[in-house]
Amino acid sequence: MEKQTAIIIPARYGSSRLEGKPLLTANNKPIIQWVWEKASACPLADRVIVATDDERIFNACKAFGAEVEMTSASHKSGSDRIAEVAQRHPEIEYIINLQGDEPLIEESNIELVITGVKEDENADISTLVRKITDEKDITNPNLVKCVFDINHYAMYFSRSKIPFERGNNKGEFYGHLGIYGYKREALFKMTKLPQSMCEISESLEQLRALQNGMKIKVAIVNNIPVGIDTMEDFEHFKSMIEG
């Protein structure tokens, strides 16, 4: 059987901070279409699938030609949603979880995530980080920090400032970008495991994988992503592309 690489984009209509976010329109295209087009331009992916629990998003994706599948409305995370889709497709071996609110994600970033999980036999999962130097970012609990070892495997993720700087010792800080690549069995393993203590404490799903001994490969990128969490974020994105 052919081993495919699929980018799966989880998209919910209900969002506590910005309801209906995937269908907000900029330059005559909904946000979800912007993300889908970026994903579709990646030559390392065999297919791109939108996974949603909402018929409005499903119909919008069909209208612009996307492959889209309905999923359960009871999923607690994007990982659970993409696992449901992957379960239906035994031909998919590598799964990229691309957030549906990153309309300016760079194609090269997606490629790094794909190669990270496909080419490293020890990696269960792959992800991205960027170096941060602004103290506001370093101490911002909404920007997740990551520390990794000399082989670029994640050691820990935290909403706190890590590493801690004792005395005059200076640390290097890396902010996490929320895109993941999974080997098929790693995705199913993680989504079936119970929530871990650190995951619950920090509200970070990737800590479940780390606490259960799974390896997360980290690649460093230079760009700053433009994610859309609030109406202000959306207006900023809209102004960038519409001028």
Give pLDDT tens digits for 82-91: 999 999 999 9
CB atoms within 10 A of CB 164: 8
Mean pLDDT of 67-89: 91
Q: Which two tokens stand for residue 104?
A: 């300016």
> Looking at domain 4-231, does it have CATH number 3.90.1150.10?
no
Round to whole Å and give the CA distance between 174 and 17: 25
Give pLDDT tens digits for 151-164: 999 999 999 999 99
Task: Please name the residue ranges forming H helices in the chain.
Answer: 31-40, 55-63, 78-87, 107-119, 135-139, 184-192, 197-202, 206-211, 231-242
Give pLDDT tens digits for 127-143: 999 999 999 999 999 89
What 3-state class would DSSP assign to 93?
A: strand
Cα-Cα end-to-end distance for the chain = 47
Mean pLDDT of 41-54: 96
Q: Which two tokens stand for residue 22?
A: 């995937």
Mean pLDDT of 67-86: 90
Mean pLDDT of 54-79: 92
Mean pLDDT of 78-85: 91
pLDDT for the residue numbered 1? 66
* Percent of the chain whose predicted confidence (pLDDT) is above 90: 81
Least confident interval from 7-21, 59-73, 116-130, 174-188:
7-21
Report whether 104 contacts 237 (CB < 8 A).
yes
Judge whether residue 225 has pLDDT over 90.
Answer: no
Task: Please name the residue ranges forming H helices in 64-217.
Answer: 78-87, 107-119, 135-139, 184-192, 197-202, 206-211
The CA-CA-CA angle for residues 209, 210, 214, to 5°, reads 70
